[in-house]
Structure 1
Amino acid sequence: MDQVPIWVLFISFLLLFHTTSSIEPDVRQALINFLGSLSGSNGQAAQAAGWNLDTDPCLDGWNGVTCDKKNQSVQKISLDGLSLAGILDVGSLCTKQSLAASLNYLSVGNNSISGDVRKEIADCKQLARLNISGNRFSGKLPDSLPMLNNLKKLDISNNHLSGDLPDLSRISGLTTFLAQNNQLTGKVPKLDFSNLEQFDVSNNLFRGPIPDVEDRFNESSFLGNPGLCGDPLPNKCPKKVSKEEFLMYSGYALIVLVLIMFVVFRLCKRRTKEEKVDATNKIVAVDDSGYKTGLSRSDFSVISGDQSALVSSTSLVVLTSPVVNGLKFEDLLTAPAELLGRGKHGSLYKVIFDKRMTLVVKRIKDWAISSDEFKKRMQRIDQVKHPNVLPALAFYCSKLEKLLIYEYQQNGSLFQLLSGDQPLGWSSRLNLAATIAEALAFMHQELHSDGIAHGNLKSSNILLNRNMVPCISEYGLREADSKELPSLSATNSRRAIEQTGATSSNSTFNADIYAFGVILLELLTGKLVQNSEFDLARWVHSAVREEWTVEVFDKRLISHGASEARMVDLLQAAIKCVNRSPETRPTMRKVAYMINAIKEEEERSMVFEV
């Protein structure tokens, strides 16, 4: 047999050695830096552990390091009980991509490591077990910790950690959570207790009721938290009325009070000789849609499709009967009500009727308008229908009370949409502006001769229906005169009226145009003015005057590639609406035309880009 030359064997040996030593030098350096930070003043720890750049963590068996079967990546670092007294520099490990992608076990328990746990821990996305127990860690756990989706076991016990825990319920597969003997505050996290095998939060500063642990853990897991109550602890939680219940009962009491006032009023008005109400007087009023009510004519009236029914001075007048099928005045006054908000001129309640329907009741106070004028006003507004103006379903008026009833819109208001975390794109904002402008222009045109403007236009009065289509609510419920200012904000509302001219017959319509201009500025800038003294119009005027126009736009619009040219066009329309001179402001019809032109240009550009 021919002998293999020795040089072939030598080269094969070198190739074998090269292929099995696969841990890169920068990874070794990262590991040594990590241990160096843990060592603190004990600078010999790395050398004692056998960690150095001249050896390989996997092939040369670095103490505390475990690699995969092919010796190609580091999977486990266990440095428990080594008298380490430095800090946990997770940035050395977790920001090194190749190391973060393989490391699934990190344990540094029973040392003297201090400092906090840094947010970079979330970059070690493969971690299945993290143990930092028995050290001197302090401060709050990072909010990025729940991003460790693969984490199964988390042990932070026996440290000096404080503050509220991050939302650990986002880690769905957690089987062990040990946090005893710290100074943690807030509520016990609502974990998936059916999946937990070990759980202990004893000797902390947690407060409030204990979540349902499904009988898997006893009181020893919760002892040493004086503020905790409920099972499995012997001290039961006191029964408290929640804020929502308090608001609901308050609203209920107020509605009952309205009922009492109504009854007293009726008794005072009742004639000395009561008329016997027979079957013919206790009629069933039917409108075009077949809606019926069993109340007497003096208690209840229905306005039919031709608006021809009579109403009494104290009746509940139904304007849109199909939505309130079966609604009686007694139902309205006795149904549980939740207080949604209270303002200068009234309160707003959410009323649910046996899960059949959900309504909103607007209670108006301190409006110097007679009952007859109020009825005529509501009936006239009801005659002018637009799909983007929320109609009143019914109203009630007396000398003491005025109530408006609307269908509840579950998607909230434009104000809430703009102030929420979910970003609103440029096309959506432009569509909202165009829809609102068209609806307001229509109402102005139809009701100009009646002198009925909105009077209180603001982003919280732009509601979103189930299809997220905007609807103007509370149209005509206030006159925007010098005494009753629309609540854009104290500064903006005052400017809307003072710059309109209180003696002008068009004052309320000009105030609507100013208020709409403020809504356009909110859409463009992302800044909200309601319930604040911030004068958005003045700020925008100042920025444009100083040629800082781009600075006013919402940074989220810029970052998502919105057309700067069309944003400037819409800004110019808004500036015209909030002009200091009322006579120079465009009509709502002209404003709607300008916005629709911008919208059409936006749509053409999108088609061209496609």
Structure 2
Amino acid sequence: MVVNFSFVFLVSVLILCLGVTSEPVQDKQALLAFLSKTKHSNRIQWNSSTSACNWVGVQCDANRSFVYTLRLPAVGLVGSIPPNTIGRLNQLRVLSLRANGLFGEIPADFSNLTLLRSLYLQDNAFTGPFPPSLTGLTRLSRLDLSSNNFTGPIPFGVNNLTQLTGLFLQNNRFSGSLPSINSDGLNEFDVANNSLNGSIPDTLSKYDASSFAGNLGLCGGPLPPCNPFFPSPAPSPSEPISPSTSGKKSRNLSTGAIIGIAVGSAFAALLLLLFLILCLRKRQRQPSKQQKPVAAGARAVPPAEAGTSSSKDDITGASTEGERNKLVFFEGGVYSFDLEDLLRASAEVLGKGSVGTSYKAVLEEGTTVVVKRLKDVAVSKKEFEMHMETLGKIRHENVVPLRAFYYSKDEKLLVSDFMRDGSLSALLHGSRGSGRTPLGWDNRMRIALSTARGLAHLHVSGKVVHGNIKASNVLLRSDQDACISDFGLNPLFGNSTPPSRVAGYRAPEVLETRKVTFKSDVYSFGVLLLELLTGKAPNQASLGEEGIDLPRWVQSVVREEWTAEVFDVELMRYHSIEEEMVQLLQIAMTCVSTVPDQRPSMQEVVRMIEEMNRVETDDGLRQSSDDPSKGSDGQTPPTESRTTPRSTTP
């Protein structure tokens, strides 16, 4: 009995010893092969004489028999993933290679990773089509390919991934139509900023409009319907009938039929002529009516010579003669056209959001404007006109001026200037391929300062909360100064506008109250500064594996003393700017304080940015001669009371 017990004890001890000293030999060889063939920073120092389970970024199972997790985020990996390396880790559950300099196509042997549950490849420069090797990984629950250079269609094979809870494909160059993806269990989905087109499938219509933003050809679902506001160009004439076919059909018509057609046509022409004569006489008898201005400080464009056609009545919602063509221009404007001219303009969709669609409209005489078609406006016509009067008076070099508006029962339109250099979002997050011109530090500082000045003017002189600060609403002039657009629209929607329309930029308190304030604008501006510094889009899900937002991600990296990892890799080429980047980072982190009273006012933010050393150099940044904290009368308004921000170093 004692002998048996001793034997069992010795066997148990032997098993435990073997378990402790076991080593995933094949996985270790695969990892060493990957590291030897891929350029990397000195942060990865895998020693072949030690167990792979003790290496940085590597986690093994409890028995140390295979590699369970490989996490190498932002460690300076550069190059393509060599085949026959990572693809040999066939027991892998989590793979994170995000925020490196990896490029090329995903190796075909990734299809061997059949037990993989989470794959994070965002913020690299991968190219090629959607990796076909991934559509067979049926156990995947989270797949993030965002912020790369993938092209081509999104395959229907994504439906093979039945366990997905998060799919992130934004900020790539995917094209074609969206497949009908099964969204059961898919809690997070994002295809923003690609080149997709066509109607959004019903299975995906439950997601927010921000999930589809930046795809100019998409429509339907949470986006506006697929029939655009502006009339489509006249369809090309149908193909002419060939002579042989025409002759055959003519021979089939009898002489009586031909005579009947001729008589009928003549009779129809006579009726049309009589109708036109009656219309002209009736019009001559009507006294001319002087059109009253719709709102104080504005002038209404008189009706066009020819009446509005019934088709345009349907488009604009105009049901009475007095309601037609009431396009209201603000004083000091530079345009002279009416609604008829606008309807005849060729139009191109610039962007779609939860509050409306923006169009680039080119009028026949060559004038180009932006028309925003609002939807779900919740205020009356009088309230709408009064609010437009307030917004129309705002003039500042860093604010896109509102030029005109139109209100009818079914349509509400805003007209503003067209900025040919596009938005900060497109400039910052456009394709980062070989043909890209990086956004330099001087221009980023110029954009930060000019945006702050425009927002400070809204707050102080206009007494207006912007309510939707984001990179796509920061437009650029040819001198790279920024102008903010789409300001002050929140009051038009009451409480019907969900805060998700500014996902990634919204202040924490806005989630609860759904009310925007001056302090929530400051928070959104702080996120914009972090976007300029990091090069990362705030609405990009899964900045880390847990899907934290941009401010929390920055805090987590700084907390680990990896401050340099925070900044955009495109800024690493510039020398002697580290101190300035850290200074701007401090300002941004003060703005995104979770406690509103601890955030500075926008005029204080302007002052802090202007006091940075680089503002006073000859880099092209303007030292403002007029204090943006002063109103139009030159008087400095009283500043808001607030808690002085603590000067902490990240």
TM range (shorter): 0.3 to 0.5
Which structure carries more relative contact order (alpha carbon 8 Å, separation 6+)?
2
